[in-house]
Amino acid sequence: MNLLMFIPLVLISLTVHEFAHGFAANLCGDRTAKDMGRVTLNPITHIDPFGLLVMVVGYIGTSSYSRFPLLIGWAKPVPVNPAQYRNPKRDEVIVSLAGVSANILFSVVVALSYRAISHVMLIGDEITSIAQMLIKINCSLAVFNLIPIPPLDGSHVLMNYMRPDKAIKYQMFFTPLVSIIILMAIINISYLRIILIYPYALLATLVSRIM
Q: pLDDT digit string (tens) for 52-79? A: 888 888 788 777 667 777 777 889 999 9
The predicted model scores a pTM of: 0.92
Distance between CA atoms of residues 169 and 83, nearest Å? 20
Q: Is the peptide bond before 151 cis (omega within 30 degrees of 0)?
A: yes
Q: Would you say how long the chain is, in residues? A: 211
Give yes or no for a contact between 47 and 14, defined as CB atoms under 8 angstroms apart: yes
pLDDT at 64: 66
Nearest Cα residue to 194 out of 51, 65, 70, 74: 70
pLDDT at 186: 82
Distance between CA atoms of residues 188 and 193, nearest Å? 7
Block mean pLDDT (10 aa), the chain, length 211: 86 96 97 96 92 83 72 88 95 97 98 94 92 95 94 94 94 91 82 86 95 91
pLDDT at 86: 96
pLDDT at 65: 64
pLDDT at 193: 80
Give yes or no for a contact between 18 and 75, defined as CB atoms under 8 angstroms apart: yes
Give yes or no for a contact between 111 and 211, defined as CB atoms under 8 angstroms apart: yes
Give yes or no for a contact between 114 and 121, defined as CB atoms under 8 angstroms apart: no
